[in-house]
Structure 1
Amino acid sequence: MSFGIALRGGLAALCLVSGTALSPLMAFAAGGTAPLQIVVTKDSQSLVVYDGDTVVATSRVSTGKKGHATPTGIFSVLEKRRMHHSNIYSNAPMPFMQRLTWSGIALHASNSVPSYPASHGCVRLPNAFAPELYKMTTRGVHVIISDREVVPAEVSDAWLFQPEKPAPQLLSDATLRLGMEHTGSVEVAMNAAPSGADAAKVTTPASDEPPIRMLITRRGERETTAALQAVLHGLGYDAGIADGVVGPKTREAIRLFQGRQGMMVTGKISDALVHAVYIAAGQPEPGNAHLMVRQNFAPLFDVPVTIRDPAVALGTHFLQFQDIDSASGKGRWFGVTMDNALSTATKARLGITADADQNATIAETLARITISADVRARIGALLAEGSSLTISDTGLGPETGHGTDFVTLTRPASKS
């Protein structure tokens, strides 16, 4: 049985020959140079790998069964192991494991991949497909898990970040791909490297730096606390890890600050304390939202932004940046919008009185968010191929922490 794939840009054609109808349709990551994203759909028990809006690979999967439902949301590959054994379920083997959360959710190969949810929360992959997907990915590749199908589409909007300077003239994408060899049943046919006017259309990375991860979200209690912890640390008070949890170190840091400022020593967070800390640091107080940036699985910076009509929910949106043009230095953004039903308690906590407009486009959501010019310049200097932006009402989920990108849950794992 033969499958054919034409890769975007016409730079390569790939043919996979297989002896079984169950073999997945796939390509080998376009030579490993393209930022990919993986979409798992629970309704159809399927997985699709995208390069921008182009399908690179597909497979069937089996997600979590009743009582062990796979969480939905925006994840990234945190760890890869060719052979891993579960430390939760009787040392069960998990070949070609790609971890999505440190609490135990992963993609992995399995001998049992029925057409219905059957796992304990992980995403099971067919044995023939799992090693090929493993070859295609690197740590940090984004994985979207959704109840319904979502398909990345290009979003062209002046609001979206672009690199501050044109990309350097590096080796073309086609040149990089020439290193691929004929192996097994895979044949790769290369076109000649482009020249003249066509050369300007070849994409090159804007920077050798790792891609950045951005999250725009409302400033809830945990976010306010995490930002306060970071500012206290900058003032020389050890408030512990800026995780939004008020522990002994944070309370002691607050007491020391209050005592030195002549305030009533309580060790508790209050509006007066927040105001005093930001004055002491010479920083503006947080707005009703903030933009957080991570790189290499660690926090980089956190800055205030403003949401217009804050009583209306933003919804959950994910965008990935890629295909940087070597002539203009500009790239393309591809985005999806996910379902995100907010509970009554969450709405009350965040001051939301109206759900997000189901017909609102990503561009209309972006228009509600104001970011200062200096922050835009700072991001533009860091923007690299594969950088991403998540917009979410619910902010930092409990899975976001040390050694992760931003993990945004739209529906947590089932505990029943």
Structure 2
Amino acid sequence: MKFRLATGMSMLGLMLSCATALGGTLEGPLQIMVSKDLQELKIYDGGVVVATSRVSTGKAGHSTPTGIFSILEKKRTHFSNIYDSAPMPFMQRLTWSGIALHASNSVPSYPASHGCVRLPNDFAKTLFSVTRRGGHVLITDREAAPQRIVHEALFKPSIVVPDTPLLADAGLRPTLIETGGKSVEVAMTEPKPEVLPPAVQKTEQDPIRILITRRGDREMMIDLQTLLSSLGYDAGVPDGRHGKQTVIAIRAFQLAEGLKEDGMVTPELLAAVYAKAGKGTPPNGQILVRQKFAPLIEEPITIRNPDIALGTHFLLAREVDADKGKAEWYGVSMDNQLSPATLKRLGITTEADASAPDALTKTLDRLDIPQDMRSRISGLMGEGASLSISDTGLGPETGDGTDFITVTRKVQKADASVVQGKKKKKKKSSITVVN
């Protein structure tokens, strides 16, 4: 069931009646976008707006975080355990730290909440009836809209070809061959093989969540420990910790290879261990998959030109057809200014520009995902699968019982009084202030 309607609030009655017929859910999936600068929530079906509502986000000192979230919990009746048991009807939790969508009698179209996203009562009730746990919600500083993205790097469902005999291998029986340029009839003696259904079935209830990000220190350490042990240097249990046993193993490897024996983990050490183990160069990226809020896959990939930021992007799969091996992806690029310390830690010298029209395409161009991993993920593809791309890895909001949550950082605008590194001289005021 799909909806195409340009008007906003007039959609509510239709959405509510359809949701009731479907037991509270829509086939969708729909994409919820909250714009803080417009104080507005929009619901997208693919690239089409199907409903709009005013909202109130967090006021000064209680700013609503921006980023990629998903609905972790739904409660028709809920009371705040922070702000004097304030009522939060039709609550849809976005973070376990206290951010949610909920109904309110006070939605003044400007920031007024303590961090949550307030919705008008009728809209909140309807929205509650058409969402499901795990549905994505994007919160941005400035308005962003999903666009159709076509790229070879995006995942598509696998097609399983039925195991039918080739014509060259089939048993043949002779038939009448007529002259005069007429067609030749060829028949098989074996019965017509059964056409098997595709092995990949739609998983609309439990779509997979994919995250592509940079490989962190923990993942690098686990790889190092595993490879050292495989080379005969016992690094202990590969737990990602730079513990005593790992230091001993590193020093032993360094001594054997004529390297500086300091037990430290450096890019040079990683390169030497990978080369010794015949594993090529150390991977600098990773792909993670979750389903039903639980980890499913975690494997290394390669990010080309790692000195350029990946940026922050979100894509949602629509019209996933396992029979045809097709999926339509709709993507959004989001503002996210990394701190100087993060840029230095990740070795990024060129920051991302989410406003560039080809920002997402250029990022997808730089991802090298092993074919066996692509095949494995393609076998899990279903309606509503999502892909997040971020430089910063698993943030503190991503944990047990969550999808991949990416909290973004507002892009700081340059001081208008600064031109080419020099401050403009301020004119003296002609106004005299009398206290």
Q: TM-score, normalised by structure 1?
A: 0.73
1:310 aligns with 2:306: yes
Aligned to 2:394: 396
Aligned to 1:337: 333
**Alpha carbon RMSD of aligned pairs, Å?**
3.9
Aligned 8 A contact 1:166 1:328 in 2: no
Matches within 5 A, 1:267-346: 286-325=282-321, 327-346=323-342
> Which gives a bigger RCO, structure 1 or 2 (Cα 8 Å, sep 6+)?
1
Aligned 8 A contact 1:305 1:370 in 2: yes
Aligned 8 A contact 1:64 1:117 in 2: yes
Aligned 8 A contact 1:292 1:301 in 2: yes
- Partner SS state of residue 335, structure 1: strand
Question: CA 1:227–1:385 in structure 2 vs 1: closer, same or farther (change >3 Å)?
Answer: farther
Matches within 5 A, 1:25-40: 27-28=15-16, 31=22, 32-40=26-34
Cα deviation digits, residues 185-235 of structure 1 (max 9, x gap): xxxxxxxxxxxxxxxxxxx96246721111111123355457779999xx9
Aligned to 1:144: 138
- Name the CA distance, whole Å, in 2 between partners of 1:258 and 1:312: 32
Q: Please identify, of 276-285 and 363-372, the stretch whose mean Cα deviation from structure 2 is larger.
A: 276-285
Aligned 8 A contact 2:208 2:382 in 1: yes
Question: CA 1:22–1:90 in structure 2 vs 1: closer, same or farther (change >3 Å)?
Answer: farther
Question: CA 1:223–1:99 in structure 2 vs 1: closer, same or farther (change >3 Å)?
Answer: farther
- Name the CA distance, whole Å, in 2 between partners of 1:281 and 1:405: 34
Question: CA 1:110–1:289 in structure 2 vs 1: closer, same or farther (change >3 Å)?
Answer: same
Identity %: 54
Report the residue type matching 1:332 in the other structure. E
Report the residue type matching 1:403 in the other structure. G
Q: Structure 1: which 5+ runs fail to align? A: 1-5, 169-203, 243-249
Q: Whose radius of gyration is greater, 1 or 2?
A: 2
Aligned 8 A contact 1:167 1:326 in 2: no
Aligned to 2:213: 217
Aligned to 1:409: 407
Question: CA 1:208–1:316 in structure 2 vs 1: closer, same or farther (change >3 Å)?
Answer: closer
1:55 aligns with 2:49: yes
- Partner SS state of residue 128, structure 1: helix
Question: CA 1:315–1:87 in structure 2 vs 1: closer, same or farther (change >3 Å)?
Answer: same
Report the residue type matching 1:343 in the other structure. S
- Name the CA distance, whole Å, in 2 between partners of 1:114 and 1:61: 8
Aligned to 2:364: 366
Report the residue type matching 2:117 in the other structure. V
- Name the CA distance, whole Å, in 1 between partners of 2:41 and 2:327: 26
Q: Structure 2: which 5+ runs fail to align? A: 163-199, 229-233, 254-261, 411-435
- The partner residue of 1:106 within 100, 104, 108 is 100
Report the residue type matching 1:318 in the other structure. F
Question: CA 1:15–1:292 in structure 2 vs 1: closer, same or farther (change >3 Å)?
Answer: closer
Report the residue type matching 2:128 in the other structure. Y
Question: CA 1:209–1:78 in structure 2 vs 1: closer, same or farther (change >3 Å)?
Answer: closer
Q: How far apart are residue 364 of structure 1 and its match?
A: 2.0
Aligned 8 A contact 2:310 2:390 in 1: yes
- Name the CA distance, whole Å, in 1 between partners of 2:226 and 2:382: 26
- Name the CA distance, whole Å, in 1 between partners of 2:71 and 2:312: 20
Aligned 8 A contact 1:166 1:330 in 2: no
Q: Please identify, of 134-143 and 389-398, the stretch whose mean Cα deviation from structure 2 is larger.
A: 389-398
The count of residues paired between Structure 1 and Structure 2 equals 355
- The partner residue of 2:374 within 373, 376, 379 is 376
Report the residue type matching 2:71 in the other structure. V
Question: CA 1:33–1:230 in structure 2 vs 1: closer, same or farther (change >3 Å)?
Answer: farther
Report the residue type matching 2:340 in the other structure. T
Aligned 8 A contact 2:159 2:323 in 1: no
Aligned to 1:124: 118
Q: How far apart are residue 269 of structure 1 and its match?
A: 6.4
Aligned 8 A contact 1:218 1:288 in 2: yes
Report the residue type matching 2:395 in the other structure. G
- The partner residue of 1:76 within 41, 66, 70 is 70
Aligned to 1:194: none
Cα deviation digits, residues 61-101 of structure 1 (max 9, x gap): 10000111000000000111111121222222211111101
Q: How far apart are residue 329 of structure 1 and its match?
A: 3.4
Q: How far apart are residue 296 of structure 1 and its match?
A: 1.1
- Name the CA distance, whole Å, in 2 between partners of 1:217 and 1:223: 12
- Partner SS state of residue 85, structure 1: coil
Q: TM-score, normalised by structure 2?
A: 0.70
- Name the CA distance, whole Å, in 2 between partners of 1:287 and 1:383: 25
Report the residue type matching 2:145 in the other structure. V
Matches within 5 A, 1:133-172: 133-165=127-159
- Partner SS state of residue 407, structure 2: strand
Aligned to 1:87: 81
Q: How far apart are residue 397 of structure 1 and its match?
A: 1.2
Aligned 8 A contact 1:167 1:329 in 2: no
Q: How far apart are residue 378 of structure 1 and its match?
A: 0.7
Aligned to 2:60: 66
Cα deviation digits, residues 99-151 of structure 1 (max 9, x gap): 10111111111111111001111101111111110111011100000011111
- Partner SS state of residue 93, structure 1: coil
Matches within 5 A, 1:183-262: 206-207=202-203, 210-221=206-217, 224=220, 250=241, 254-255=243-244
- Partner SS state of residue 396, structure 2: coil
Q: How far apart are residue 325 of structure 1 and its match?
A: 3.3
1:353 aligns with 2:349: yes
Question: CA 1:136–1:209 in structure 2 vs 1: closer, same or farther (change >3 Å)?
Answer: closer
- Name the CA distance, whole Å, in 2 between partners of 1:111 and 1:226: 51
Question: CA 1:359–1:339 in structure 2 vs 1: closer, same or farther (change >3 Å)?
Answer: same
Q: How far apart are residue 258 of structure 1 and its match?
A: 6.2
Question: CA 1:101–1:279 in structure 2 vs 1: closer, same or farther (change >3 Å)?
Answer: farther
Q: Please identify, of 349-358 and 39-48, the stretch whose mean Cα deviation from structure 2 is larger.
A: 349-358
- Partner SS state of residue 27, structure 1: helix
Report the residue type matching 1:376 in the other structure. R
